[in-house]
Amino acid sequence: MDNALIVLIALVIDISFGEPPNRWHPVARLGKAISLEMKRAPKGSKAQLIYGIGMVMITLVVILVPVYFLLVYLKQMSSIAYVLIAAILLKFTFSFRGLGQAALYVRKLLAHDNLEQARSHLCSLVSRDTTFLNKQQVVSATVESVAENTCDSFVAPLFYFVFFGIPGAVAYRIVNTFDAMIGYHGKWEYLGKFAAKLDDLLNFIPARLAASYIVMSTWVQGNNASRAWRIMWRDHELTESPNAGWTMGAAAGALAVQLEKLGYYRLGDDHNPLTEETIDFSLHILTLVTIMWSLTCLLAEVVPLVLAP
């Protein structure tokens, strides 16, 4: 039952307190460490590729080994301490409340016609240049981020916790953070190539699970789940990422909107306009997916114990 308690406590911590200040947040500290490692990156594609592989692998070892032995020690000494520390560590691998708050803040700024600040705050959700986005494009980018992060920020970390425990969830968050910082075309393309490919691999199953849960949440809300399913299958290959198109396509179909990143992709059909309420509806989907996926993970931990002879 320890794992089920760990999930429940981690969820309570996240919902009650959200994200701590960056100076105390392990993921923010990891981001600073990655930034320092980037400053020492060599020039040249081959050298950058090798250095990038080393960055990811060494960071995984340096973090995962102490985490593993700490948890082993705590489990031997005190089950209560083990569950509490494990729950805190698990919470730092996912973010439900923080994602919702970030999206709602953009929505609030748009509702007050403060487009410039909405563009600025949107940078906390997406990596694209937001300088010249209009209101509909800001809404689209926000909804796209909520949909994609339904996987990255919630479904995937718990998926790896269920199968590999705290080390699995922490390893996923490390790789995903590397991908978020250096897994792009441009100056650091070769430096981040390994992290990007590894992140694609790790998200292969969780992204498709998250998209399926988005479709199910659409059905639970009494909306057109068949449209969400159809758009997901029709448009998921339009994004450069092999995974992001699944959740974003499902969300576009569920909301009956067209999500667009100029020059890159258009997902869904524009039956409904992109407004502040579209962000609200996307967060309703996120909330339902969070509830359903949490219950799934809890059942995955509890049912085998109940059925055990």
Convert the pLDDT of each residue in 24-65 to its tens digit: 899 999 999 999 988 888 888 899 999 999 999 999 999 999
Which own/partner contact pairs does 161-165 have at CB distance under 8 Å and 24+ positions apart? 161/3, 161/6, 161/7, 161/90, 161/93, 161/297, 162/3, 162/297, 162/300, 162/301, 165/3, 165/71
133: helix, strand or coil:
coil
**How far is Cα 183 from Cα 205, in angstroms, rounded to an integer?**
19
Q: What are the start-end ranges of the H helices in 152-275?
A: 156-182, 189-220, 225-235, 244-255
SS3 breakdown of the chain: % helix, strand, coil, rounded to 5?
A: 80, 0, 20
The whole-number pLDDT of residue 302 equals 80
**How far is Cα 122 from Cα 13, in angstroms, rounded to an integer?**
25
Q: Is residue 309 part of a domain?
A: no
Q: Is residue 36 part of a domain?
A: yes
Q: Is residue 306 part of a domain?
A: no
State in Å, rounded, how far the first CA of the chain is from the last one. Answer: 16
Local confidence band at 304 (pLDDT 50, 70, 90 cut-offs): confident
Q: Is the pTM of this model over 0.85?
A: yes
Q: Is residue 30 part of a domain?
A: yes
Q: Is residue 308 part of a domain?
A: no
Report the pLDDT averaged over residues 138-159.
97
Radius of gyration for the chain, computed over Cα atoms and rounded to the nearest angstrom: 20
Q: Is residue 92 part of a domain?
A: yes
* pLDDT tops 80 at residue 308: no
Indicate the range of 189-193, 230-234, 249-253, 266-270 predicted with least confidence: 189-193
Question: Could you tell me the residue range of the domain that residue 271 belongs to?
Answer: 2-300
* pLDDT tops 90 at residue 120: yes
Instruction: Provide the token pair at 254.
Output: 């569920």
Q: Is residue 305 part of a domain?
A: no
CB contact set of 33 (below 8 Å; sequence gap of 6+): 59
How many structural domains comprise the chain? 1
Q: Is residue 113 part of a domain?
A: yes
